[in-house]
Amino acid sequence: MAKMRAMQVAQARAAFELVEREIPQPGPGAVRIKVQACGVCHSDAAVKEGLWPGIQYPRVPGHEVAGVIDAVGAGVQGWKVADRVGVGWHGGYCGYCAACRRGNAFACQSYTLITGLTSDGGYGDYMIAPASAVARIPERLSAVEAAPLLCAGVTTFNCLRHTGAGPGDLVAILGLGGLGHLGVQYANKMGFRTVGIARGADKEALARKLGAHEYIDSTVKDPAAELKKLGGASAILATVTSAEAMGAVLGGLGANGVLMVIGAAGPLPVNLLSLLTGQNAIKGWYSGTSADSEDTMAFSVLTGVRSMNEVYPLERANEAYQRMMSGQAKFRAVLTTGN
Ligand SMILES: [Zn+2]
Ligand SMILES: [Zn+2]
């Protein structure tokens, strides 16, 4: 049998280890992807640190996968060998359950699949994905450009287009890391009056370069009060993983404003009185399906939005993961296989 390389996690809190595995065969309804690039996402910590209930080891993480289909399983329609494709967090949907039939494929009741978590992902030369999980990569995006758009990109883009905010409305992006640096770009290109909120005066130049019209340094100013001065936010995209930081901006929502949560955080204390007087909402946002990923990539090509990436060869996954987890990566880390 032909072999491939993978960087697997043997058990919770173990380092990524380079292993040789048999190249897997796609079953019915699935395709095999020859991986070219795979982003390193904060959610990979669910695998690496054993934070996901019931996760099985060894596991190969990676849910920002870009590559080429190199084998097609029985019954797959619409995809062929050599198609350039990507896969994100969403691991596929059935198309026949009640959620799918009502247009909520993200909440599919039959397939509770998460790429690189319930199945092996893109930290390797090859991976298998259900055809429903696969998104077509536009010609004008390289694999390294496409990979981070398949989780960080689709999560921020798809969330921002569902906030209810319209052109010219005040939209704030909380956090300027891997997610936030894309969120600011998308918000600007969608026509929002875009506010970047981060810790430190040194981030202002970056925020403005990415397209923020306003910047709030939350270490010296009360971000909620500053947002109120600007008229109150129609939406705040919370990309941070600190519930405390989210709580600090909540009061900056304008009438009918919504706090969109895409970073996983602990309990969030909420002043319910201000929530109801402003008719405000706190809403979680799931990343998106393969169709949402295609929309994200198309919009990125159209408007020039790109992730800023540090690129590492697959074998240096440990280093890339540490850079990402420490918050030092500028701004996404992407592994390449050389394929
Ligand atoms: Zn992710
Ligand atoms: Zn379904």
pLDDT digits (tens, 9 = 90+) for 45-71: 999 999 999 999 999 999 999 999 999
Tell me the residue type at 90. Answer: H
pLDDT score for 263: 86
Mean pLDDT of 154-180: 97
Tell me the residue type at 55. Answer: I
Instruction: Tell me the β-bridge partners of 22.
Output: 3
Bond before 148 cis per omega within 30 degrees: no
Q: What is the C-alpha separation between 186 and 106, in angstroms, rounded? A: 22
CA of 178 from ligand 1 middle (Å) equals: 10
The three-class DSSP label of residue 294 is helix
Which of the ligands is closest to the CA of residue 105?
2
283 sits in which H/E element: strand 281-284
Which of the ligands is closest to the CA of residue 156?
1
Q: What is the C-alpha separation between 91 and 99, in angstroms, rounded? A: 15
CA of 96 from ligand 2 middle (Å) equals: 5
- Backbone phi, then psi, for 315, in 5-degree steps? -65, -20
- CA–chain centroid gap for 37, Å, is 15
321 or 263, which is more confident: 321
E strands present in 94-169: 126-130, 134-136
In terms of CATH architecture, what is 3-151+287-336? Alpha-Beta Complex (3.90)
Residue 272: partners with Cβ closer than 8 Å, 6 or more residues away: none
Locate CATH 3.40.50.720 in the chain. 155-284
Which residues have C-beta under 5 Å from ligand 2, the single-atom ion? 93-94, 97, 100, 108, 110
Average pLDDT, the chain: 97
CA of 152 from ligand 1 middle (Å) equals: 6
Locate CATH 3.90.180.10 in the chain. 3-151+287-336
pLDDT score for 266: 84
What CATH number has the domain spanning 155-284?
3.40.50.720
Q: What is the C-alpha separation between 167 and 267, in angstroms, rounded? A: 32
Q: Which of 74-83, 145-154, 266-275 has the lowest mean pLDDT?
A: 266-275
Which of the ligands is closest to the CA of residue 103?
2
Which of the ligands is closest to the CA of residue 101?
2
| Confidence check: pLDDT of 326 > 80 | yes
Q: Which residue has the tokens 């990676």?
A: 62
pLDDT score for 265: 79
Which residues have C-beta under 5 Å from ligand 1, the single-atom ion? 41, 43, 151
CA of 28 from ligand 2 middle (Å) equals: 17
Q: Which of 96-100, 282-286, 327-331 has the lowest mean pLDDT?
A: 327-331
Share of the chain above pLDDT 70, in %: 100
pLDDT score for 231: 98
pLDDT score for 155: 98
The conformational region for residue 272 under phi > 0 = left, psi -120 to 50 = alpha, else beta, is: alpha
Length of the chain in terms of residues written: 339
| Confidence check: pLDDT of 1 > 80 | no
Q: What is the C-alpha separation between 150 and 133, in angstroms, rounded? A: 11
Mean pLDDT of 253-279: 92
CA of 44 from ligand 1 middle (Å) equals: 7
Instruction: Tell me the β-bridge partners of 193.
Output: 170
CA of 41 from ligand 2 middle (Å) equals: 26
